[in-house]
Amino acid sequence: MTDATEASVRSEVRAWLEANWDPNLGLVEWRNKLIDAGWGAPAWPKAWHGRELPPALAAVVDQEIRRIGAVGVARTGIRTLAAATLLEHGTDFQKEKFLRRSLTGEDTWCQLFSEPGSGSDLAGATTRAELTGNRWVINGQKVWTTSAHHADWGLLLARTDWDKPKHQGLTFFVLDIHQPGVEVRPLRQMNGHASFNQVFFTDAEIPPEHLVGEIGGGWAVATTTLMHERRGAADGFASWGAAPPVERKGRIYDEEQAETATTMEPYKWYPQRAGRVDLVLARAKATGKIDDPVVRQEIAKLLILARSAEWTARRARAAMAEGRPPGPEGSLGKLASSHVARAAARVHTLIAGADAMLSGEDDPSGGVVAEVLISVPAGSIAGGTDEIQRNIISERVLRMPKEPGSTDDRPFREVPRNVAS
């Protein structure tokens, strides 16, 4: 518990920022200062760089950082999922080694979960981890791995026991991407970006101290990662890359821009993936379609949907503020956000007409609408598809019967699979 109030936090962080903020510092140097003062991750435990502030007060810290035009800690990409997972399940060694560098942005991460034969059925993963001498040796393949081409570390779900039921034979590791046994091959998407990769492991190695949780306890750790991912998706990606509020001149901004152009590059289409609801009214006014009663009606429906999804996301944040573990509201919110994205794509098309097919400079919107159209399907797939979210909601919220096969307790090696292992 904390005695802090909004006013006390605001005045304390404001005074600290006024005394310490300097745009001519190096990016990592500044972030370390912010972390040392407890303002980098104020909601985190005191033992791990934080102040244990509830989310509403941590948001006050963000507001003040933005108000003064300062740069915050690195908080986009898989590193947020890595940090959340390690905070909950990591050893002190792992927290010491990884948490601070995730905040400074020195380390980048990827999530090595999905495989060619197991995406929705994640517990069916067949990448092997075998303890040989004092090393875990990894063989197999992952796919859809966002950012693997920029990553230093991967959150790996691998099979360590083929004789246990599928959920009980998995173990969670932190894998060093920069080693000879790991090959990263980029894939290109239909929207032209290349965010994903295939990742192949041939006798890749992991030291025992990089095992997270228990041997065979990987499913519980992966569930934590997924819950945080779904909550992130439910919050939407609309604010990613939002325009800074003040003029940004100085060494730190140059370094931040370089970071955005490299490690953050795979995420630059994420606002389009969320549907760009923020552009709808302006585009309707600019094109005169705002006077069309049918278009007005569709815009109203979209804004109502978006507003209700935002309330769902706020409910999830309130649950977190009360210290409740991430629960099904993440799935509800994620499903809502993919509905909003698809509805926004439809409304954008209604407004743009045939121009929605134009890309780049040929299009009055600079190609944003075309990019929205071909990016929104990703929201219905990433982090668990819409169908999987519906299964979770039906089983865990509505208490409907479990889907057939989901409680398969045969040894994993006897479970029929569609890939060789």
Ligand X SMILES: Cc1cc2nc3c(=O)[nH]c(=O)nc-3n(C[C@H](O)[C@H](O)[C@H](O)COP(=O)(O)OP(=O)(O)OC[C@H]3O[C@@H](n4cnc5c(N)ncnc54)[C@H](O)[C@@H]3O)c2cc1C
Q: Phi and psi for 219 in degrees, rounded to 5?
A: -65, -40
Smallest gap from Cβ 398 to ligand X, in A, equals 15
- Among the listed residues 305, 331, 315, the one whose alpha carbon sits nearest the alpha carbon of residue 385: 331
Smallest gap from Cβ 270 to ligand X, in A, equals 8
Q: In terms of CB distance, is 32 or 224 closer to ligand X?
A: 224
- Among the listed residues 110, 17, 108, the one whose alpha carbon sits nearest the alpha carbon of residue 66: 17
Smallest gap from Cβ 24 to ligand X, in A, equals 35
Whole-number Å distance between alpha carbons of 45 and 274? 31
Residue from 72, 119, 181, 241 touching ligand X (CB under 6 A): that is 119
Whole-number Å distance between alpha carbons of 94 and 97? 5
Task: Tell whether residue 268 is a contact of ligand X (CB under 6 A).
Answer: no
The residues in 130-189 that bind ligand X, with binding defined as CB under 6 A, are 144-146
Task: Tell whether residue 333 is a contact of ligand X (CB under 6 A).
Answer: no
Task: Tell whether residue 381 is a contact of ligand X (CB under 6 A).
Answer: yes
Task: Tell whether residue 63 is a contact of ligand X (CB under 6 A).
Answer: no
Give the residue nearest to ligand X (CB).
119
The token pair at 214 is 């228990």
Of 50-58, 106-114, 255-263, 300-308, the segment contacting ligand X by CB under 6 A is: 106-114
Task: Tell whether residue 80 is a contact of ligand X (CB under 6 A).
Answer: no
Task: Tell whether residue 201 is a contact of ligand X (CB under 6 A).
Answer: no
For residue 276, give the amino acid letter. R
Q: In terms of CB distance, is 50 or 383 closer to ligand X?
A: 383
Of 164-172, 173-181, 341-349, 380-388, the segment contacting ligand X by CB under 6 A is: 380-388
Q: In terms of CB distance, is 275 or 383 closer to ligand X?
A: 383
Task: Tell whether residue 114 is a contact of ligand X (CB under 6 A).
Answer: yes
- Among the listed residues 123, 151, 125, 127, the one whose alpha carbon sits nearest the alpha carbon of residue 137: 127
The long-range contacts involving 245-251, CB below 8 angstroms and separated by at least 24 positions, are 245/66, 245/67, 245/69, 246/68, 246/69, 247/69, 248/23, 248/69, 249/23, 250/22, 250/23, 250/24, 251/23, 251/24, 251/25, 251/26
Smallest gap from Cβ 301 to ligand X, in A, equals 25
Whole-number Å distance between alpha carbons of 104 and 83? 12
Task: Tell whether residue 123 is a contact of ligand X (CB under 6 A).
Answer: no
- Among the listed residues 85, 87, 56, the one whose alpha carbon sits nearest the alpha carbon of residue 319: 56
Where are the alpha helices (H) located in 150-269, listed in sequence order? 218-235, 251-261
Binding site for ligand X (CB under 6 A): 110-111, 113-114, 119-120, 144-146, 378, 381-385, 387-388, 391, 403
